[in-house]
Chain A
Amino acid sequence: AQKVTQAQTEISVVEKEDVTLDCVYETRDTTYYLFWYKQPPSGELVFLIRRNSFDEQNEISGRYSWNFQKSTSSFNFTITASQVVDSAVYFCALSEEKRDDKIIFGKGTRLHILP
């Protein structure tokens, strides 16, 4: 069964603090893809990153970094030196090649960055 779990429903941190959003996934497929999306109050889903199951390299993009660990089925997202504009709901998601790439989303983590 495919499943994405984001155990943190809501997180609040003070601006400039680092924050990590956790994501754990379940899949039986050997070829799968993991995503993070940001959803600001406007409601639009903003794509942040996609990782392939065969590429465990971590990635850094500016203040954002992602830690993919197949051994623990986790794909965590860290924001360094958080800013108020980072306040949003963040979704971790999974798609499987054998299931025509339909995306399974977690329930999301609402992140509040306090000034």
Chain B
Amino acid sequence: DTGVSQDPRHKITKRGQNVTFRCDPISEHNRLYWYRQTLGQGPEFLTYFQNEAQLEKSRLLSDRFSAERPKGSFSTLEIQRTEQGDSAMYLCASSFEGPEQYFGPGTRLTVT
């Protein structure tokens, strides 16, 4: 399967711990997007990369959040000092420019 993959699929962590999620985009897709979806809401844009460059960050991305895309391939999203409000589904999508984004299955984070 050559779709977008995300790891882990589920993560339960205690408040104050750091977590890191990984996204592997479709091969050769140069754009990679992160979205967050809280219960009962639509996904909200967090940040995106064109190759290895992070070009835009949403106001939702507090300074506890950091994303990287070394070498323009996979991406990681780290949340430091997690809070209960960080509990959400974190979705990754990739595209080869243009509007067509392919979404991964998401990582569901629960902060206890």
Contact = CB atoms under 8 A, between A and B. Distances in A.
Contact of A107 (B31, B41, B102, B105): B41
Contacts of A55: none
Interface in A68-111: 91, 93, 95, 97, 100-108
Interface stretch (B14-22, B42-50, B66-74, B77-85): B42-50
Contacts, number: 56
A16 interface: no
Given A102-B56, A105-B42, A107-B41, A50 B99 contact: yes
A12 B22 CA distance: 37
A45 B99 CA distance: 16
Contacts of A4: 42
A107 B99 contact: no
A102 B58 CA distance: 11
Interface of B: 31, 33, 35, 40-45, 48, 50, 55-56, 89, 91, 93, 95, 97-103, 105-106, 108
A64 interface: no
17 contacts: A33-B99, A43-B108, A44-B103, A44-B105, A91-B42, A91-B43, A93-B42, A95-B99, A95-B101, A100-B56, A101-B31, A101-B95, A102-B45, A103-B101, A104-B45, A105-B43, A107-B42
